[in-house]
Amino acid sequence: MISLAGRDILHSWAKFVFTGVGLGLLIGVTLTMAGVYRGMVDDAKALLDNSGADLWVVQKDTLGPYAESSSIYDDAYRGIRGMEGVARAANVTYLTMQVRRGETDVRAMVVGVVPGGYGEPGQPRYLVAGRHITRGHYEAVADLSAGFRLGEHVQVRRNLYTVVGLTRRMVSSSGDPMVFIPLKDAQEAQFLKDNDAIVQQRRRTAENPAFNRPGVPGLTDSVIASQSANPYVNAVLVQIEPGFSPEDVAGPIRRWKRLQVYTRSQMEGILVGKLIATSARQIGMFLVILAIVSAAIVAFIIYTLTMGKVREIAVLKLIGTRNRTIAFMILQQAVGLGVIGFVVGKVAATFWAPFFPKYVLLEPGDAARGFVAVVIICVLASVLAIQAALKVDPAEAIGG
Amino acid sequence: MDRAHAQGIVIEGLSKRYGEGETAVEALKGVDMKVAPGEVVGLVGPSGSGKTTLLKCLGAVIEPTAGRMTLGAEEIYDNGWKIRDLRALRRDNIGFVFQAPYLIPFLDVTDNVALLPMLAGRPNGEARKAAIELLGALDVAHRARAMPSQLSGGEQQRVAIARALVNRPPVILADEPTAPLDSERALAVIRILNQMARQYETAVIVVTHDEKIIPTFKRIYHIRDGRTHEEAGEGRAF
């Protein structure tokens, strides 16, 4: 038996191809939305991978340092480093802000790291150009996506930093490029007040009778000095020694240091489950709406194509064509349209994904699931047209 | 004579009523008709006389209210359908030729004709061979690979006749097959139908208004107000 659907598609291929292209662009948008979500998850995992940490030690009862603010003393790392199973520990700060590049500004996550080399917790894991930060002040390593080049200057708050190294795919969970600067500078950038605020604070302190008591010389100066210093970091990143499990090391830190400790899997759960959960639901809603719109379009197109062939269907039924043959013809056409649409959509999504400002990760698994969904949607969408075709009376082919 | 073609068409007391109660319309009121195998008869009558209803009953697409119908060797209706699978009955026992050819636009000429035997389960190659043979007999074999839109009106109608004949049905129902054609082509179609009816022992009923072809029938059934009466035709040579 010949394929009636195939012959019809070949006969009016232009109509099918153009309709398929239109549908394909919609499917391309759907695949891209899935890619945006995957990109967000991948960004979150890249953030954790790039930190080089096995454990994140943060302020007690917080989900820091990425999902909530966290503040711990910058000398806490010393005690942690001495604990059993800890190979390395280093302070780190994170601050998402606008940094200036010449006359323009770029949104970036400024990461304060202890100067050092490859393998230090918090340091970029690899460079594509230049070197790591080795000096205590005014050097920076920037991600390529921020647009900096070696030797350029990046302005963070009031200070200028020279870009000495470039890295790739070092981004925050929001996809913002990272700019690494020395820890001390980052602490200052995070808590630095402007000059007027400093003058006002000193005046207020001096006027406060509690800090300016007669008979206690030097008290005001001491208080002002303590207010000017910033002894806080957002987290301590810990690498554990071989042979120890993360929980083995995390337990004693929680118990003896009274700090919150997260393992890699816990931190991944926080980032994916909490930080990007709302965005994921938002994208999920988009996917559902796009799927409904696609189904409606396929249903409308197939219904219109079928209604345009009522006389042919009546003749086919009159000359003895089985209902299932006619239904299968319509079903094949709907699925054929979906396949054309999927191919166009996949090619379109692959083509335009690199132009998106945030990372779009098109996974083969999503494409496979998308293909199955397209086929299911097309099958469901053809039901209306099949019902209409089965209602066509063969008598319509005869006379008036 | 092939047993399947034994009786041609026999209709006795066929009635058809549309609707119920006061709004009921008697479209056919005890129609009697007999067409022998190899015979072509005309069925003529004004609009609304019941021609199309009779054709639909014969074509097993609407159910009569009462009466008897025999197509070929098979009694298909006796105050109720005697056949369960009307679709297969139409496919194997009745050939249809319409006012417009109604060829399937996305199949070429060969496959338009071969579709019926394929639907009946014959292998594609065998069905195509039968189709090409018949197209040759109807003098359109040279258009076998053409699409319907590339054919003239006369060629399309000949392909439609080939489609009606390809399963060698005992009965052909032709619904105003010459309406869109000029005199020459209309007479050619009737000539072909007569020739094929004789060759394949097929009983043919031609519903028509066409004054050009009415004189060619040897027998004519006039239908008016749901009743038929038979009359000898001129049987003029074409």
Q: What is the pLDDT of residues B32-70, one digit of tens each?
A: 999 999 999 999 988 888 888 999 999 998 999 999 999
Nearest to A398 among B52, B92, B124 (CB): B52
Is A122 found in the same domain as A198? yes
pLDDT in tens, A133-158: 988 899 999 999 999 999 999 999 88
B141 interface with A at CB cutoff 8 Å: no
Taking the Cβ of residue B122 and every Cβ of chain A, the question of whether any pair is shorter than 8 Å is answered with no
Place of tokens 């039924």: A317
Closest approach of chain B CAs to the CA of A3, in angstroms?
10
Please name the member of B87, B98, B120 whose beta carbon is closest to the beta carbon of A397: B98
Rounded Cα gap, residues A382 and B62, in angstroms: 28
**SS3 annotation, chain B:** CCHHHCCCEEEEEEEEEECCHHHCEEEEEEEEEEECCCCEEEEECCCCCCHHHHHHHHCCCCCCCEEEEEECCEEEEECCECCCCHHHHHHHHEEEECCCCCCCCCCCHHHHHHHHHHHCCCCHHHHHHHHHHHHHHCCCHHHCCCCHHHCCHHHHHHHHHHHHHCCCCCEEEEECCCCCCCHHHHHHHHHHHHHHHHHHCCEEEEECCCCCCHHHCCEEEEEECCEEEEEECCCCCC
B217-231, pLDDT tens digit by residue? 999 999 988 899 888
Reduce the DSSP state of residue A181 to 3 states and report it. strand
Are both A251 and A282 inside the same structural domain? no
Select from B56, B106, B116 the Cβ nearest to the Cβ of A8. B106
Number of domains composing chain B: 1
d(CA B90, CA B94): 5
Look at A275 and B194; give whichever has higher pLDDT.
B194
**Probe site for chain A from B56, B90, B104, B147 (most A CB atoms < 10 A):** B104
Chain B nearest-CA distance from A7, in A, is 6
Judge: A322–B119 Cβ closer than 8 Å, yes or no. Answer: yes
A368 CB-side CA count, 13 A: 3
| Residues A36 and A131 placed together within one structural domain of the fold | no
Query: Which pLDDT belongs to residue A157?
Result: 87
A219 and A349 within one domain? no
Residue B14 pLDDT > 50, yes or no?
yes
Query: Which of residues A224, A259, A275 is at a domain's end?
Result: A275
- Tell me the β-bridge partners of B28: B16
In a domain, B24, yes or no: yes
Chain B residues whose beta carbon lies within 8 Å of the beta carbon of residue A392: none
Quick check: A337 and A298 in contact, CB under 8 A? Answer: yes
User: Cβ of A319 and B102 within 8 Å?
Assistant: no
Tokens of residue A163, six digits: 């870009």
**What's the domain range around A72?**
46-275
* Domain count for chain A: 2
| A244 and A226 inside one domain | yes
Q: What confidence tier does A65 reach under pLDDT thresholds 50, 70, 90?
A: very high
Hey, is A272 helix, strand or coil?
helix
Cβ pair A376, A45 in contact under 8 A? no
pLDDT of A400: 54
Specify whether A55 is located in the same domain as A38: no
Domain that holds residue B88: 3-104+169-232
The reported pTM is 0.75
Residue B93: inside a domain, yes or no? Answer: yes
Look at strands B40-44 and B219-224 and give their pairing. Answer: parallel
- Which amino acid belongs to residue A291? A
The pair of structure tokens assigned to A153 is: 């200057």
Q: Using an 8 Å Cβ cutoff, are A177 and A168 in contact?
A: no
The answer to whether the Cβ–Cβ distance between A399 and B90 falls below 8 Å is no
The domain that holds B21 is classified in CATH as 3.40.50.300
| Residue B25 covered by a domain | yes
Q: Is the domain of A28 the same as that of A153? A: no
Give contacts of A1 with chain B, Cβ < 8 Å: 118-119, 124
Of residues B146 and A195, more confidently modeled = B146
